[in-house]
Amino acid sequence: MKEININGFQETIIERSDYPPERCKDILDHETTAILGYGPQGRGQGLNMRDQGFNIVLGVRPGRSWDKALADGWVAGENLFEMEEAAQKGTILQYLVSDAAQISLWPMVQDSLKDGDALYFSHGFGIVFKDHTSIVPKANVDVILCAPKGSGLTVRTHFLEGRGINSSFAIHKDYTGKARDRCIATAFAIGSGHLFETTFEREVHSDLTGERSVLMGMLQGAFLAQYEVLREHGHSPSEAYNETIEEALESLYPLVSQRGMDWMYANCSTTAQRGALDWAPKFHAAIKPVVEECYQSVIRGDEAKRSIETNSQPDYRDKLEKELEIVRNQEMWQAGQVLRPLRPENQ
């Protein structure tokens, strides 16, 4: 474990060396982990645990997800079952279906939980917004969380590369007295690199804000704004795309990730330095109120309510595809489809 202090804020970081595979297997030796759902997180976490030899079963509804599980080597009747049967077999139930599906499947999951079982989430949504989801676990189970800071695809690819993904963890209810060990052992079993502690509330508030802001929503909005300005002033699609997206994702952002923004500023041209230093405060002043508005909408429950209402509509998938088609058809991303194959590694 590593103690860190950032501006007086003390945190304990738990590293993989603190919970090597042997220790995790000892903790989970008498457990059966039931992965419920085979979306991105269910697939990534489930395959990582299976590959390391943990006692695991997968619960999937018949259809496309079932077929994908078979293609990934899960065996029907051995470690692949329909959702309810898998839930009844598990002592740790990893509830990794979508937020909307968690609501509809909750009565079945609640009935499947036995005294001393653990209910595991990778997102605090269902528990925190219980007034909208009606997900209130019974008193005689542990309720835990491990939230990888990346997509399920990244959880899997990092594992295959011998790396780990940073994750947060939280203990909402410790009925058995062993919830913390169960949670941390499972967190490393799914492929986490290091862990930092949070609460269900903080996880979901930060996660929903991040998705709507710098991780996805703001990113799309900022990219599109710059691309449109350049195009409106006569720059070609190739020039606008490269200056907006290609240089950011392929050159600058990876270096910021590795070394930090101060290093990036110190190692770019003096003209770029001056412009970045002068304009960053303007963007900060313009964007921070929008992020604050987003955060307040999250903690009020407005974002949860909207997500549940829209995602539960029978024609949601059709409406979603139309919205995604609008993004897909934007010239900026059409330019990307043409230009990405021209990267040297794709030649």
DSSP letter string over 137-170?
Answer: --TTSEEEEEEESS-HHHHHHHHHTT--EEEEEE
Helix and strand counts by DSSP (H, E) for the chain: 19, 10
Confidence of residue 201 (pLDDT cuts 50, 70, 90): very high
Summarize pLDDT for 285-296 with one digit per residue, the tens.
999 999 999 999
Q: What is the largest CA-CA distance in the chain?
A: 67
Position 247 pLDDT exceeds 70 = yes
Write out pLDDT tens, residues 130-145.
999 999 999 999 999 9
Task: Answer for the pair 218, 292: CB distance below 8 angstroms, yes or no.
Answer: no
Cα separation, 281 vs 288, whole angstroms: 10
Reference 335, options 233, 225, 255, 237; nearest CA is 237
pLDDT tens digits, 86-127:
999 999 999 999 888 999 999 999 999 999 999 999 999 999
pLDDT at 250 over 80: yes
How many angstroms separate the Cα of 113 from the Cα of each of 41, 88, 91, 215, 250? 21, 7, 8, 35, 46
User: Mean per-residue pLDDT for 313-321?
Assistant: 92
- Indicate if the pLDDT at residue 308 is higher than 80: yes
Q: How confident is the model at residue 311 (pLDDT cuts 50, 70, 90)?
A: confident
Whether residue 238 contacts residue 339, with contact meaning beta carbons closer than 8 Å, is answered with yes
Annotation says 123 is catalytic: yes
Mean pLDDT in residue range 302-326: 93
Asked if pLDDT for residue 347 goes beyond 80, the answer is: no
Q: At what angle do helices 270-300 and 302-311 cross, to 10 degrees?
A: 80
Task: Give the CA angle between residues 190, 194, 198 to the nearest 5°.
Answer: 95
Kindly report the pTM of this predicted structure: 0.90
Rounded to the nearest integer, the mean pLDDT of the chain is 95
Answer positive or negative: Cα dihedral of 97, 99, 105, 108: positive
For residue range 332-343, list pLDDT tens digits in order: 999 999 999 988
The DSSP H or E segment spanning 322 is helix 316-328
Indicate whether 305 pLDDT > 70. yes
pLDDT computed for residue 273 by the predictor: 94
Helix (H, G, I), strand (E, B) or coil at 211: helix
Residues with Cβ within 8 Å of residue 82, at least 6 apart in sequence: 59, 60, 61, 62
Nearest alpha carbon to residue 11 among 225, 205, 196: 196
Query: For 15-54, how does the pLDDT look when each residue is reduced to its tens digit (9 = 90+)?
Result: 999 999 999 999 999 999 999 999 999 999 999 999 999 9
Domains of the chain with CATH codes: 2-199 (3.40.50.720), 210-346 (no CATH)
Give the whole-angstrom CA distance, residue 37 versus residue 285: 41
